Amino acid sequence: MTISEKAAYLKGLMDGLELDTEKAEGKMISALVELVGDMAKRITDIEETTIAISDELDEIEEDLDAIEDYILDEEDEDEDDFEDDLFDEDDFEDEDFEEGFDYGDEDTTIYEVECACGEIINFDEETLEKGSMTCPNCGELLEFSLEDDDEEELEF
């Protein structure tokens, strides 16, 4: 039995008792039954609203999941394409070296090297041409030499 049905049942009991609503006891019971009826209506409205909101939230969640899947799929495809085009590991002798990102300036390539201390250091072609740099973490001097201009292999 729902709350609305229970409230209607109480109203029916009160009507069946034929209470005198002119006396204090009858007025109080009548007011309480009326209050219970109003509360039952209000609770029913709140339940219906909650169900509608819940349904809307479920739809929004499904839409957000679809958008997230679409975005993540796009990023995965972009990353795979970028990583494939970035470098071929067979072109480099040292596995700690990777050619870095191109930051929009087509003339500047950023290189990445891992120092013996584990610090990953980014540097540009100008530093490469100088032939050395100091690790900012441990202070060790890192020296570079460009053996073959065609393959751009670096040695440490």
Domain residue limits, the chain: 3-86, 89-155
Please give the model's pTM, rounded to 2 decimal places: 0.41
Task: Measure the CA–CA gap between 12 and 15, rounded to whole angstroms.
Answer: 5
Per-residue pLDDT of the chain (156 residues; tens, 9 = 90+): 888 999 999 999 988 988 888 899 989 999 999 999 999 999 999 999 999 999 999 999 999 999 999 998 877 776 655 555 554 545 444 444 444 444 455 567 788 888 888 888 888 888 878 888 888 888 888 887 766 544 444 444
pLDDT given at position 50: 96
pLDDT given at position 29: 92
Which positions ≥6 away from 33 have C-beta within 8 Å?
Answer: 7, 10, 11, 14
Rounded alpha-carbon distances, angstroms, from residue 39 to 6, 7, 46, 48, 51? 11, 9, 10, 14, 18
pLDDT given at position 57: 96
Q: Torsions phi, psi of 113, nearest 5?
A: -140, 150
pLDDT given at position 65: 93
